[in-house]
Homo-oligomer: A and B are copies of this chain.
């Protein structure tokens, strides 16, 4: 059953899901890979190839049923299941993520917020009280948590990742600016914002070089 699907394919799945959601909002019932390819600006071949990793969702001569495909991709992405999450690091970014309600719609349910800074203790964000990390081990014993969102500064993130793993966390959404050194079974998804911004900066430099006659 397992053919080991490549990272490139997985990364495209949420984008398909987003576009299918939009098609549904626009009451589009069916779509061919050709039409979808025009909207998404990828090749029809890639769409068919990608989807077929997971099964034949389409029908020759007809195309794909939008609602059906949307549901199926949602299921593949695990959006049909509730994922309890905690945020570790209740700074600006942690609080911003806590306040972002859209995650909940997709089954990502925030169940706890933790920080190391006593000043934050007891403050409530979106109805959830900020706890101290000392309480984390006990909390994890009594509440199932699928995903830990790590929004602590770099210098505290490494040891916190260790603590999370020791206490049974299997998946970390890492916003700290370092690569976590976790056991291979732990799933880490990095969001390195500063690296994204540097990539943008690089392209800007290329653009300016080509448009201002420099070099």
Give me the interface of A with B, judged by CB distance under 8 Å.
1, 10-11, 13-15, 17-18, 76-79, 81, 83, 91-93, 95-97, 99-100, 102-103, 106-108, 146-147, 170-171, 173, 177-178, 185, 187, 189, 191-205, 207, 215
Contact = CB atoms under 8 A, between A and B. Distances in A.
Contacts of A196: 173, 189, 191
Given A93-B96, A100-B92, A173 B200 contact: yes
Contacts of A177: 18, 102
The 3 closest A-B pairs by CB, nearest first: A14-B195, A92-B96, A78-B205
A171 B204 contact: yes
A191 B189 contact: no
Query: Quick one: copies of this chain in the complex?
Result: 2
A177 B191 CA distance: 15
Contacts of A99: 92
Contacts of A194: 14, 102-103, 106
A106 B198 contact: yes
Given A83-B201, A93-B100, A147-B201, 5 more contacts: A13-B202, A14-B194, A15-B192, A15-B195, A191-B193
